[in-house]
A and B are shown apart, each in its own frame.
Chain A
């Protein structure tokens, strides 16, 4: 009996954004995400007083997952960012910071929400159209025939996650591995519809990062004793594989809804075992070399198989089933009766492999798009962070191959975009003004707030009190060290811009980002020469960043549009 209780009335707050409490919590959240952003971002240690492991991170996915936010408005913001991250893996902090900045800046303008939302949408459409257009000055096309941009992309992802605790050399090593793993998942045969394979990350904690490696095929972990016992087979040709998804333990679970009465002299176990042995005989006659089972194999059946030199591996688990059937080309068998010969698959070879303290059974495929990335790191926390980072990098590579563009990273896209919007709004009348939906002043006021929000995302990359500048030609991001000696002039003090495309010797003029600068037209067409030559570019995933931008503006609009918060206190 459920007990019905009278419900407590809800709490209703009007105009939530005007309250000090909400503003305060918003700025706390903003402080947290801003301090995590970028390669120089500060790490956060998350731990629960109740125990469990301590998590050291600077990634939005790990951070927001563990952060419990109290206020519903913050909940909207964080879930929105989390949902974005679960779709795109990357640009979570960018989205969160931009959203917070927008809310803060727009509130300062004092415009009514209806006009703000209209204009925000308008400015967003300007941004997305520009980022999608061919004249975009912060978008690089990706040359699919070379790995250069891909390597830069992975490199940028790895450098932006300081909690992985990687040295320069380790970053190079891991980025090469990630790229290799990614390339292994691309099928060789080119059909019209390319389906990418899968990279399985195998944990190997306590080893040096340098020991990480990529192997084609699958690794199944098992104790060494068992492994030694399993491997008497030496065969030159490919091995025939049968993959079972039913239990081979001889249990009899599904007997229907009625009653089954078993006479005392009948032994069901024997009957089932007989059945299994019949199956075994068929496997032997079909020359199967390897039997894999998702569930448990009966010990006697195992015995029988090994007597006939068939390797049997059980308890593979449901997660490995799909990659296994892909690697071996088998159809998972769901029957204890006769097996159709088309269900068998094959592997090129199998061998024992030892990495660190763990031993594995390595299935080497003939031709498959599954590979294993053995990932090492010194401790658990750093490993978790590295794993997330690798997943992000692999995901980002998949997006980039689908839509072959990258955006300039290191804050350059943000400053460039801000310069573009500012220039656009100040020179020439926009359609929205012509339509009479708002005045030119309102547009300029809000565009300024919008651009400032974008620029402060870029500014968040600097954590050491340095000066942030932008050049008046390309609109890129330049960071100067803190407390510069006064005698030096800018070209000597600055070396390269944020993304690494331009250096300070190009006769540029700079202005401090925080100051009110005169709107200028950023150069839109990218020079072709430096793209190929510049060795170390910082680039961001185009798809993820574009979506992050849209989600940030949409979420900010949503929050600005709130007029009541009704809290159910039951």
Chain B
């Protein structure tokens, strides 16, 4: 069984998914109830979960779902928008094809040959799309869109103070799309409180990473209580009960052990030969005495709490009770690693405990007491943090487990989103000047990193690359470069990363980095001269950097069409990378108002770009993307009436943009630009995948353990 993979099929699939997803998107979206085969009931507005729950059969649908989930792994949000945007792109492509078909009808070739030709054409479009994304989109975002960006930080980039108000706006907008309508305000407040309680001014991205990784340990779900009973408690709540609890106050020290304190009768891989009854009794006696001494020693060290990752024998518990030490057994490895990360306390080795010396691996806790939540008992631990994260626990209540889980995953996603928002995003792009005289259309690398004042940028435009070489020779150069790099110590640090996934474009960039960090030299490569003039050796960011690199015909668009183009995003170090490398950074904390602002802005600038752009296929692609982008605000505004309806909103925004007035947003709330941007790139990749498939063949084989997601194969 084989079916042609085409845009029409993909569109049908995506449209079905869109109808489901579009009802859950945005602030007016509604809940979905999923049942599991085990009988559990799950409530969700999470697009990713929803798509997974559908257990789709269609191969293209499965591929889309796989793409969405890989996107979610990175960002934790945007599954629904993903589907809507993808669907609109497909719709646009479909419309283009329909138009072409009309012109073709006279020929009337619906044969197999026609199909092949057709698919080649899709592949061509896919590559143009990818090209657009890697080389032009970033530029538009950086040059035009960035002037509309707001920052979540109240003070300049170095300080990064976060004001509560803007975080509230951001979170509220996020939870609008993730939890039920009656709870989103409450949950976003809870999250906001949690954030400000846990994070100090020093905590950076690592603190988010910690919360992201250990989220399960940092919250407790309680069913049967109203959601509004959810709260934040100071310290850590372990999902265990005390084996023995001895109330203590004042200086409470804690140790962690990972094995039984009571010495075992016989160690593993050893033999214990019993020759007499007395021997047995003495060894039993010795074990008891040993255990008691350990406990006494711990007591003398002021240890009042013992966490154990294993079950301890009754004797240990008894002795601990006599020494006034509380014991918690079977603490999970995750909880121990969390304690380790927060308090810097690592499990102590037993020989150390047994010997009479001081135990170094103890930690001070403020309090340790039982916590009863709905007749289940937990251990409540007042850890003192040695880290930038101040431990707090969330107690999430809800009438049903499904709702508690929904809130839990939404909160988890929010931390993922914040983690991403707090990191910089690199943008790489190529700008093609509209130099009408030069037929070879010189490439100009432009840089707009913030620390470089604008006038300098103009200078870089001197770096004109003349292309004289043939393409094959470029690849020769590539080899040479990699050789030269290995010999050059100066450059080792930065270049290997780009070498590995090198493309002709990248080589270019490597080359230029090379130039700026090394003293003036003349490189001789393949009989071509690289003339590098560098006047100031001290400062790599010089006034007069000029490079004349002799190449011919390194038309990047061309190479891409031949399929040599790989996706590569080179990350170069800050100091000198900047110079010629066409990269820029979207600083951490960039936000835009919600409600389709990002989409409308990008739409506007893409259309502008299309007008200026002479090349027809880029125009087609940018118009396609621009129109598809509008689909998102259209759905978001669907339930609204009057001045908030989509056509009016759109008109208003366009007018504002044309007259360069500030845009007025109907809604309060902010969203991360980086997340939106990543969504776009993920969708483009997914679309390329769809377009490059020409035939779907179903095979009769039991799904394998590893790749049971994709059963389609590509020819």
Interface residues on B, range: 35 or more
For the complex, is A255 an interface residue (Cβ under 8 Å from B)?
yes
Cβ contact within 8 Å between A567 and B228:
no
Binds A, one of B108-116, B312-320, B486-494, B516-524: B312-320
Which residue of A is nearest B278, CB measured? A271
For the complex, is B659 an interface residue (Cβ under 8 Å from A)?
no
Cβ contact within 8 Å between A340 and B322:
yes
Which residue of B is nearest A99, CB measured? B399
Residues 297 to 346 of chain A near chain B (Cβ within 8 Å): 331-338, 340, 342-343
CA distance A185 to B29 in the complex (A): 51
B281's partner among A3, A114, A267, A275 (CB-CB below 8 A) is: A275
Cβ contact within 8 Å between A118 and B181:
yes
Which residue of B is nearest A551, CB measured? B399
Which residue of A is nearest B226, CB measured? A550
Q: Give, as a whole number of angstroms, the nearest-CB distance from A327 to chain B.
A: 18
Cβ contact within 8 Å between B35 and A566:
yes
Residues 23 to 72 of chain B near chain A (Cβ within 8 Å): 23-24, 28-37, 39, 41, 43, 50, 53-57
Cβ contact within 8 Å between A275 and B284:
yes
Chain B residues lying within 8 Å of A270, measured Cβ to Cβ, are 277
Q: Give, as a whole number of angstroms, the nearest-CB distance from A78 to chain B.
A: 10
Q: Give, as a whole number of angstroms, the nearest-CB distance from B313 to chain A.
A: 6
CB-defined interface of A252-289 with B at 8 Å, one 1/0 digit per residue? 00111111111100111011001100000000000000
CA distance A117 to B227 in the complex (A): 15
Cβ contact within 8 Å between B35 and A266:
no
Chain A residues lying within 8 Å of B375, measured Cβ to Cβ, are 86-87
Which residue of A is nearest B183, CB measured? A554
Cβ contact within 8 Å between A12 and B182:
no
For the complex, is B272 an interface residue (Cβ under 8 Å from A)?
yes
Known contacts: A266-B275, A558-B180. The answer to whether A550 contacts B228 by CB under 8 A is yes
Cβ contact within 8 Å between A547 and B226:
yes
For the complex, is B196 an interface residue (Cβ under 8 Å from A)?
no
Known contacts: A245-B314, A258-B272, A568-B55. The answer to whether A268 contacts B280 by CB under 8 A is yes
For the complex, is A246 an interface residue (Cβ under 8 Å from B)?
yes
Cβ contact within 8 Å between A563 and B37:
no
CA distance A7 to B62 in the complex (A): 12
For the complex, is B216 an interface residue (Cβ under 8 Å from A)?
no
Which residue of B is nearest A16, CB measured? B33
Cβ contact within 8 Å between A331 and B318:
yes
For the complex, is A132 an interface residue (Cβ under 8 Å from B)?
no
CB-defined interface of B256-277 with A at 8 Å, one 1/0 digit per residue? 0000000011111111111111
For the complex, is A83 an interface residue (Cβ under 8 Å from B)?
yes
Chain A residues lying within 8 Å of B228, measured Cβ to Cβ, are 550
Q: Give, as a whole number of angstroms, the nearest-CB distance from A550 to chain B.
A: 4
Residues 542 to 570 of chain A near chain B (Cβ within 8 Å): 547, 550-551, 554-555, 557-558, 561-570
For the complex, is A50 an interface residue (Cβ under 8 Å from B)?
no
Known contacts: A551-B226, A566-B33. The answer to whether A254 contacts B53 by CB under 8 A is no
B399's partner among A257, A267, A555 (CB-CB below 8 A) is: A555
Chain B residues lying within 8 Å of A342, measured Cβ to Cβ, are 322
For the complex, is A80 an interface residue (Cβ under 8 Å from B)?
yes
CA distance A274 to B424 in the complex (A): 73
Binds B, one of A41-49, A69-77, A215-223, A511-519: A69-77
For the complex, is B348 an interface residue (Cβ under 8 Å from A)?
no
Chain A residues lying within 8 Å of B400, measured Cβ to Cβ, are 76, 79-80, 83, 555, 558
Known contacts: A86-B224, A568-B36. The answer to whether A257 contacts B318 by CB under 8 A is no
Q: Give, as a whole number of angstroms, the nearest-CB distance from B237 to chain A.
A: 18
For the complex, is A120 an interface residue (Cβ under 8 Å from B)?
yes
Cβ contact within 8 Å between B35 and A331:
no
A266's partner among B37, B271, B276, B639 (CB-CB below 8 A) is: B276
Which residue of A is nearest B51, CB measured? A566
CA distance A84 to B223 in the complex (A): 8
For the complex, is B677 an interface residue (Cβ under 8 Å from A)?
no
Chain B residues lying within 8 Å of A557, measured Cβ to Cβ, are 180-182
Cβ contact within 8 Å between A564 and B33:
yes
Chain B residues lying within 8 Å of A88, measured Cβ to Cβ, are 224
Q: What's the dominant secondary structure at chain A's contact region?
A: mixed
For the complex, is A51 an interface residue (Cβ under 8 Å from B)?
no
Known contacts: A75-B41, A558-B180, A562-B33. The answer to whether A333 contacts B226 by CB under 8 A is no
Q: Give, as a whole number of angstroms, the nearest-CB distance from A131 to chain B.
A: 13
For the complex, is B403 an interface residue (Cβ under 8 Å from A)?
yes
Cβ contact within 8 Å between A568 and B265:
no
Binds A, one of B132-140, B206-214, B543-551, B701-709: B701-709
CA distance A16 to B33 in the complex (A): 10
Number of A-B contacts (CB under 8 A): 231
Cβ contact within 8 Å between B270 and A258:
yes
Chain A residues lying within 8 Å of B180, measured Cβ to Cβ, are 117, 557-558, 561
CA distance A5 to B20 in the complex (A): 26
Cβ contact within 8 Å between B181 and A9:
no
CA distance A68 to B619 in the complex (A): 60
For the complex, is B668 an interface residue (Cβ under 8 Å from A)?
no
Q: How many residues of A contact B (CB 8 A)?
A: 77
For the complex, is B656 an interface residue (Cβ under 8 Å from A)?
no
Cβ contact within 8 Å between A10 and B55:
yes
Chain B residues lying within 8 Å of A72, measured Cβ to Cβ, are 33, 35, 41
Chain B residues lying within 8 Å of A568, measured Cβ to Cβ, are 34-37, 53, 55
CB-defined interface of B8-25 with A at 8 Å, one 1/0 digit per residue? 000000000000100110
Chain A residues lying within 8 Å of B99, measured Cβ to Cβ, are none
For the complex, is B401 an interface residue (Cβ under 8 Å from A)?
yes
CA distance A340 to B321 in the complex (A): 11
Cβ contact within 8 Å between A258 and B267:
yes
Cβ contact within 8 Å between B20 and A564:
yes
For the complex, is B225 an interface residue (Cβ under 8 Å from A)?
yes
Cβ contact within 8 Å between A335 and B264:
no
Known contacts: A259-B266, A260-B274, A558-B403. The answer to whether A114 contacts B28 by CB under 8 A is yes
Cβ contact within 8 Å between B33 and A113:
no
CA distance A79 to B400 in the complex (A): 6
B318's partner among A6, A256, A259, A332 (CB-CB below 8 A) is: A332
Residues 201 to 252 of chain B near chain A (Cβ within 8 Å): 223-228
A79's partner among B41, B50, B226, B321 (CB-CB below 8 A) is: B41
For the complex, is A108 an interface residue (Cβ under 8 Å from B)?
no
A563's partner among B30, B56, B182, B315 (CB-CB below 8 A) is: B30
CA distance A568 to B23 in the complex (A): 20
CB-defined interface of A67-108 with B at 8 Å, one 1/0 digit per residue? 000001101100110011111100000000000000000000
CA distance A76 to B403 in the complex (A): 10
CA distance A255 to B260 in the complex (A): 13
For the complex, is A8 an interface residue (Cβ under 8 Å from B)?
yes
Residues 84 to 119 of chain B near chain A (Cβ within 8 Å): none
Which residue of B is nearest A85, CB measured? B224
Chain B residues lying within 8 Å of A563, measured Cβ to Cβ, are 23-24, 29-32
Known contacts: A260-B274, A337-B285. The answer to whether A114 contacts B181 by CB under 8 A is yes
B55's partner among A7, A118, A258 (CB-CB below 8 A) is: A7
For the complex, is A482 an interface residue (Cβ under 8 Å from B)?
no
Q: Give, as a whole number of angstroms, the nearest-CB distance from B525 to chain A.
A: 54
Cβ contact within 8 Å between B43 and A554:
no
Cβ contact within 8 Å between A271 and B281:
yes
Cβ contact within 8 Å between A260 and B35:
no
Cβ contact within 8 Å between A266 and B277:
yes
CA distance A84 to B399 in the complex (A): 7
Which residue of B is nearest A87, CB measured? B224
Pick 29 A–B contacts, CB within 8 A, sort by A.
A6-B703, A9-B56, A10-B55, A16-B33, A75-B39, A76-B402, A79-B41, A80-B399, A80-B400, A113-B181, A246-B314, A254-B264, A255-B266, A258-B270, A266-B277, A268-B274, A274-B277, A275-B281, A331-B322, A335-B315, A337-B284, A554-B399, A555-B399, A557-B182, A563-B32, A564-B50, A566-B33, A567-B35, A570-B55
What would 5 more interface pairs be, CB under 8 Å, given A9-B57, A568-B35? A76-B41, A259-B272, A551-B225, A558-B400, A562-B33
Chain B residues near A (Cβ < 8 Å):
20, 23-24, 28-37, 39, 41, 43, 50, 53-57, 180-182, 223-228, 264-277, 280-281, 284-285, 288-289, 313-319, 321-322, 374-375, 398-403, 639, 702-705, 708
